[in-house]
């Protein structure tokens, strides 16, 4: 494997909309800045769904917040660039980013009950997006919100328009969040764990809705999730993150058939099992935990949990290298996964 230059890492095959290049983020803890994202590189093509996966604490949501410009006061971008449709947005001011949020980038937050104002009717909350971005007039804005509610599958839009968040089910609240994110017709939609805490039926409906939005509107989607099963449903490509770094990136079918990083293999095994454990009644697990802030090893961050670790893993951070067509892995000791294949909307061993 040959290390890749940063400019060639994780490139989409079609026209680029979003390009995250060598992004690093630091957090100030007791007067000391600690790195929480390190040289994160990936991109999203126009009309493409890219899944960003990993356990809690791997930096997925922080990456999403960096893209949309919503980092906390003690968190800042320390290196790299974020480019949206040819414009570098990582260096824009807060005022400039407010104009981009909602209009060019929509965000579906993880907890709609927290993200929605409990004291404001949901119709008005969606309408506020149109007011902020000076879209339409009073009459046309209400009509636009009702149409958005129809598009996202909310039953009886006129009734929902007048209701408060607590009067809606979890699935309905998530649909309101999606309507809000789509109100100004952004080119990029960031969905942060959009199916968390929803039952299986509603989860499938939300994923179908995201796929429909991409097909019907041409919207690109960054789907942040910890669930490989969700990725297999709708994503075109997948970016695997661990301890604030990208460890593997590939088209979804390629990753599911030939994952090379031990962490990716572990994530797949924990959801779908593996050929070599067919007789086991339990799914494989990954031992240990994601390192906390300030505890990331100097070598490979996954080394303390990795059964394939060799000496160099403890001392040197692995560079990103190509292991196939559009398939990148950062690992000194990549492994082979027993062949798996996408089958319909799931995965089964071959």
Residue recorded with tokens 């649909």: 175
Distance CA 53, CA 67 (A): 16
Which alpha helices (H) appear in the chain, and where do they start and end?
A: 60-68, 94-100, 112-115, 122-132, 138-151, 157-162, 170-182, 200-217, 228-234, 252-258, 262-272, 311-315
Give the pLDDT of residue 277: 46
Q: Which among 21, 16, 13 has a CA at the least distance from the CA of 246? A: 21
Give the pLDDT of residue 91: 92
Retrieve residue 255's tokens. Answer: 């990753």
Give the pLDDT of residue 324: 86
Strand partners, 42: 20
Give the pLDDT of residue 274: 57
Residue recorded with tokens 């800045």: 33
The residues spanned by each domain of the chain are 8-104+186-286+299-343
DSSP-derived secondary structure for 131-164: HHTT-S-HHHHHHHHHHHHHHTT-SSHHHHHH--
What pLDDT, in 10s, does the model give residues 164-210? 999 999 999 999 999 999 999 999 999 999 988 788 888 899 999 99
38 burial via Cβ count (<10 Å: 0-12, 13-18, 19+): buried
The CATH architecture annotation of domain 8-104+186-286+299-343 reads: 3-Layer(aba) Sandwich (3.40)
3-state helix, strand, coil in the chain (%, to 5): 35, 25, 40
pTM of this structure: 0.89
Distance CA 326, CA 208 (A): 26
Residue recorded with tokens 């669930």: 227
Residues 6+ apart with CB under 8 A from 145: 123, 126, 127, 130, 161, 179, 183
Give the pLDDT of residue 12: 52
The enclosing H or E element of 205 equals helix 200-217
Torsion of CA 127, 129, 133, 138, to 10 degrees: 10
Give the pLDDT of residue 270: 81
What pLDDT, in 10s, does the model give residues 99-115? 999 999 999 988 888 89
Q: Which residues of the chain have pLDDT under 50?
A: 5-10, 276-279, 339-350
């Amino acid at each position: 494997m040959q290390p890749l230059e940063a400019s060639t890492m994780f490139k989409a095959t079609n026209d680029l909309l979003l390009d995250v290049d060598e992004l690093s983020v630091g957090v100030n803890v007791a007067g000391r800045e600690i790195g929480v994202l390190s040289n994160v590189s990936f991109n999203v093509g126009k009309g493409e769904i890219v899944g960003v996966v990993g356990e809690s604490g791997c930096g997925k949501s922080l990456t999403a917040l960096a893209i949309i410009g919503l980092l906390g006061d003690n968190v800042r971008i320390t290196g790299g660039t974020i480019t949206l449709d040819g414009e570098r947005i990582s260096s824009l001011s807060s005022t400039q980013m407010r104009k981009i949020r909602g209009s060019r980038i929509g965000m579906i937050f993880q907890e709609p009950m927290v993200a929605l104002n409990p004291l404001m009717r949901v119709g008005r909350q969606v309408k506020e997006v149109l007011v902020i971005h000076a879209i339409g007039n009073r009459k046309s804005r209400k009509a636009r919100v009702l149409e958005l509610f129809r598009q996202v599958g909310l039953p009886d839009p006129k009734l929902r328009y007048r209701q408060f968040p607590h009067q809606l089910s979890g699935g309905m609240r998530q649909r309101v969040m999606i309507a809000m994110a789509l109100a100004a017709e952004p080119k990029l939609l960031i969905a942060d764990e959009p199916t968390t805490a929803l039952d299986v039926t509603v989860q499938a409906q939300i994923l179908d809705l995201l796929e429909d939005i991409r097909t019907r509107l041409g919207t690109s989607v960054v789907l942040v999730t910890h669930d490989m099963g969700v990725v297999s449903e709708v994503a075109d490509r997948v970016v695997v993150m661990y301890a604030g770094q990208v460890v593997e990136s590939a088209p979804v079918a390629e990753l599911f058939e030939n994952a090379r990083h031990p962490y990716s293999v572990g994530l797949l095994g924990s959801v779908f099992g593996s050929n070599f454990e067919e007789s086991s009644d339990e799914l494989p697990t990954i031992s240990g935990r994601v390192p906390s802030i300030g505890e990331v090893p100097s070598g490979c961050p996954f080394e303390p949990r990795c059964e394939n670790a060799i000496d160099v893993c403890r001392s040197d951070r692995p560079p990103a290298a190509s292991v196939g067509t559009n398939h990148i892995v950062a690992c000194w000791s990549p492994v082979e996964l027993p062949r798996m294949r996408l089958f319909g909307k799931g995965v089964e061993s071959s």
